[in-house]
Copies of this chain bind each other. A is one copy, B any other.
Amino acid sequence: MTIYDISRLSGVSVTTVSRVINGSEKVSEKTRKKVLKIIKESGYTPNAFARGLGLNTMRTIGILCVDPADTNSCINLTPAIGYLERELRRNNYDSILYCLEYNMQGKEDYLKMMLERRVDAIIIVGSFFIESNPKNNQCILDAAGSVPVFLINGNLEGENIYCMLCDDFNSSYMATSELISTNVRDILFLYTTLSESEKRKMDGYIAAMKDHDLAVSQDYIRHCPQDVRESYRFFESLAEEGLKYDGIVTCEDTTAVSALKYALSKGIAIPEQLSVVGCGNTILSQYCYPELTTIDGNYESLCVSAVNMLVRHLEGTPAPSRAVISSRLIRRNTTKFYGME
A residues lining the B interface (CB < 8 Å): 45-50, 52-53, 56, 58, 60, 67-71, 75, 78-83, 85-86, 89, 94-99, 115-118, 228, 254, 257-258, 260-261, 264-265, 283-284, 286-289, 300
Q: How many copies does the complex hold?
A: 2
Question: In the complex, are the beta carbons of A69 and B82 less than 8 A apart?
Answer: yes
Say whether A49 contacts B45, CB under 8 Å: no
B117 touches A94 (CB 8 A): yes
Contact indicator A300/B49 (Cβ below 8 Å): no
- Provide 26 A-B residue pairs closer than 8 Å at the C-beta atoms, listed in order of the A residue: A45-B116, A46-B116, A48-B118, A49-B52, A49-B56, A52-B52, A58-B117, A67-B85, A67-B86, A68-B78, A69-B79, A69-B86, A70-B82, A71-B283, A75-B283, A81-B97, A85-B99, A89-B99, A94-B96, A94-B117, A95-B96, A96-B97, A228-B286, A228-B287, A261-B287, A283-B283
Give the shortest distance, in Å, between A282 (CB) and chain B (any CB). 9
Shortest Cβ gap from A86 to chain B (Å): 6
A272 to chain B, nearest CB (A): 16
Please, which residues of chain B bring their CB within 8 A of the CB of A260? 289
In the bound complex, what is the Cα–Cα distance between A70 and B67 (angstroms)?
A: 18
Give the 10 A-B CB pairs with smallest separation, nearest first. A69-B82, A69-B79, A49-B52, A68-B82, A49-B53, A67-B82, A261-B289, A85-B99, A257-B287, A264-B289
* Complex interface: chain B residues within 8 A of A82 (CB): 67-70, 99
Given known pairs A115-B45, A287-B254, A288-B287, the reply for A68 and B69 (CB within 8 Å) is no
